[in-house]
Amino acid sequence: MATHARGLTEATHRPDDPTTTGALAVRVRNLHRSFNKAGGVLNGLDLDIAPGEFVALIGRSGSGKSTLLRALAGLDRDVAGHGQITVPASVSVVFQDSRLLPWKRVLDNVVFGLKAKGAAERGRKALAEVGLAGRERAWPYELSGGEQQRASLARSLVREPQLLLADEPFGALDALTRIRMHVLLRTLCEVHRPAVLLVTHDVDEAIVLADRVIMLYDGVVRTDVRVDLETRSPGDPRFAELRSFLLAELGVNEESVPGQRVAS
Amino acid sequence: MTTDLTTGTIATDLTTAGRTDTAARGGAAATSDTDQRVVRRRLGPGHRVRLAFWAGPIALLAIWVIGSKTGFISEQILSAPWTVVESAKTQWTDHDLLGDILSSLKRAVIGLTLGTVAGAVLALLSGLSRLGESLIDGPIQIKRSIPTLALIPLFIAWFGIGEQMKIITIALITMIPIYIHTHNGLRSIEGKYAELAETIGIGRVEFIRHVVLPGAFPGFLLGMRFAVTSSLLGLVVVEQYNATNGVGHMMTLAENYGQTDVIVVGLVIYGAFGFLADGAVRLTERKVLAWRRTLEG
C-alpha cells in the first residue's frame, strides 16, 4: 500500500482493499473527450468507484469535472471522444438546479417516470426522508431553494440508484442550508448505499462528505486520496491537513487567500 | 429635529418627520414599537378583483345608452340600445334569430375544433422533429402570407358553396395562430427539462405527455385566444356566400335592406361571442397554469 508523504493514503491500485475488489460500480478506462480539435478535456482518464463508495471530484473550472460526470450519465452525445465506461443499470443524476418540472406538484415530480405500483407511496416515503412530508401537493415555486434541492434528491433516491451522480448540487444554496444538506446527503447515502460521484468546487464539502477525493488535472485523475478521518469537523487537525493538501494541489496558496479559515 | 448622535438613527428621523411632538418627548424609545420600514410601492397590477372583467364592457354599454339618450349619438350613426333590443326581439320572433345564432356557433365550433386539432398536431410534429419542421413549417408560413379570404373563390370551386367550404375556411383561419403559438411555446421549453427526462429514462410518448404538452400549453392557450376571434372573422365572411342562416347571413340581408339596427344586433352578438370565449380561455389559463407565478395572479 502506497503511503503519501503527508500520511494520506493513496487510493489507487489497492487490490487488497475490500472496497475495491469484486464488482465495481464504475469503471472508466482511457476516456477521451474533446470539444474542439485544439485539445482534449479528458485525456485518457481512468477511474474506479466501488459499490457504495462516495467519491468527491474536485478541480478547477474547466478541468473536465462536468464533462466526466456527463459522460457517466450518458449525456454527452454531442461530444467527440472514445474510451471505455462501465456504469450500473440504475444511474440517477442530481443537477445544480433542482430541475423540478414547474407544472408538476412536488410528489408528481418525485415519482416522475416511475411506472411501478405503489410509486406514489414510495415517493411519499422519499419526501418524508428528505424532510418534506406534507409538501406533496405544493408547486415547485412554493418551495425554497433548499427544499427544491431536497425534493430533487428525493426524486433521485426513490429510483434506488446504484450510482448517484451529483453535479455541484449545493452550489446555489446558502452556507447554512448547505451544511444541513451535507448531513442529509451523508445520512441518506448511509441508508441507501449508492456509489456516489459528487462534483464540487468546495474542498470542505468534499472532505465532509466523501470516502475518497479525486482531482482532475490535464484531463486525468491527478490526485486520489482516501478520507479516513474520525471526526469530519473542520476543527480536526487532520481535516485541516487534508484541506491544505487539496488546496495546494488545486494551486491555491492558503496564506494568500484573504478570509480563509485555517484550523489552528 | 433632535437627533442624538449616539442613539441617533435614521429611524428617529423618519418618525420625527411625521410626528414632531412624540419624537421630541419620547426620543428613540418611542420609535421602538412603531413600524418603521419602508413598505414598497407595488409595481405589478396587484390582486385580482372579482367581476372586474365586466367593468369595461359595462362602461361601454353605459356610454352607448347615455350617448343615445342625450342625442349625442344620433340614430343615423348608431342605433340606440333600445332600438337594437327591439329589432333583436323582432328577429327572434319573426326571423329565427336563435336558429341563426346556433348555426353560426355550430360552424365556428366545428371549424375551430378542426383548426385547433390540426394546428396543435402540426406544431407538435414540426416542433419535435427536424424532418417534420422542414416539411411543415415552410408551407404553414406560405399559407400564413396568403389571406384566407382570397382563397375562398378557390375553396368554392373545390368544396362547393355549402357547409364544407365554410367549415374548412374557418378551420384554416384558426389553425394558423394555434400552430404558431404552440410551436413557439414548445420550442421555448428549457432544454434542461429534456435532459432531466433523458436521465430519468422515459420514452418519447411520456416525454411528450409530461414535458412537451404542459410546457407548450401556455403558448397553445395564447394561440387559442387568437383562434377564437379568428373564427368569428371567418364566420362573417363565409356566411356571405350562399348561406340561408347564420348571424352573418342575417347581417348581409340587413345590409341589403339598409336595416342598420339589425346590423348592430349582429355586431353585438359577435362582440358577446368573442368576449365570452376569450374570457373562457383566460379562465382556463388561470386554472390550468396555476403552477406559474406571474403577474396574472
Q: Is residue A98 a contact partner of residue A52, using CB atoms and an 8 Å limit?
A: no
What is the CATH number assigned to the segment(s) B78-288? 1.10.3720.10
What's the pLDDT at A241? 86
Indicate the residue type of B81: P
> A99 in contact with B at a CB cutoff of 8 Å?
yes
Picking from B233, B270, B236, B230, the residue whose alpha carbon sits closest to that of residue B119 is B230
CB contact under 8 A, B199 and A141: no
Return the H-helix or E-strand segment holding A118: none
What's the pLDDT at A22? 56
Long-range CB pairs of A120-127, under 8 A, 24+ apart, other chains included? A122/A158, A123/A154, A123/A158, A125/A158, A126/A154, A126/A155, A126/A157, A126/A158, A127/A151, A127/A154
B27-79 tens-digit pLDDT: 445 556 777 888 888 888 888 888 888 899 999 999 999 999 998 988 888 88
Which residue's entry shows cell 508523504?
A: A5
A31-54: b (≥16 Cβ within 10 Å) or e? bbbbeeeeebbbbebebbbbbbbb
> B196 in contact with A at a CB cutoff of 8 Å?
yes
End-to-end CA separation in angstroms for chain A: 30
What's the pLDDT at B175? 96
Going from N- to C-terminal start, the domains of chain B cover 78-288
Distance CA(B219)–CA(B217), nearest Å, equals 5
Q: What global pTM score does this model have?
A: 0.79
Across B79-203, the runs of DSSP E, i.e. the strands, are: none
What's the pLDDT at A173? 84
Picking from A246, A243, A248, the residue whose alpha carbon sits closest to that of residue A261 is A243
Q: Is residue A197 a contact partner of residue A72, using CB atoms and an 8 Å limit?
A: yes
Selected for mutation to probe chain B from A70, A79, A101, A148 (highest B CB count within 10 Å) is A101
Which residue of A lies nearest to B203 if distances are taken between CA atoms? A113
Mean per-residue pLDDT pooled into runs of 10, chain A (264 residues): 38 42 82 82 91 92 89 88 90 93 95 90 92 93 92 92 93 85 89 92 90 90 86 81 88 60 45
| Per-residue 3-state assignment (H helix, E strand, C coil) for A135-198 | CCCCCHHHCCHHHHHHHHHHHHHCCCCCEEEEECCCCCCCHHHHHHHHHHHHHHHHHHCCEEEE
The mean pLDDT value of chain B amounts to 86
Q: How confident is the model at residue B24 (pLDDT cuts 50, 70, 90)?
A: very low
B132-148 tens-digit pLDDT: 999 999 999 999 999 88
- Interface size A-B, in CB pairs within 8 Å, comes to 48
CA distance A183 to chain B (A): 25
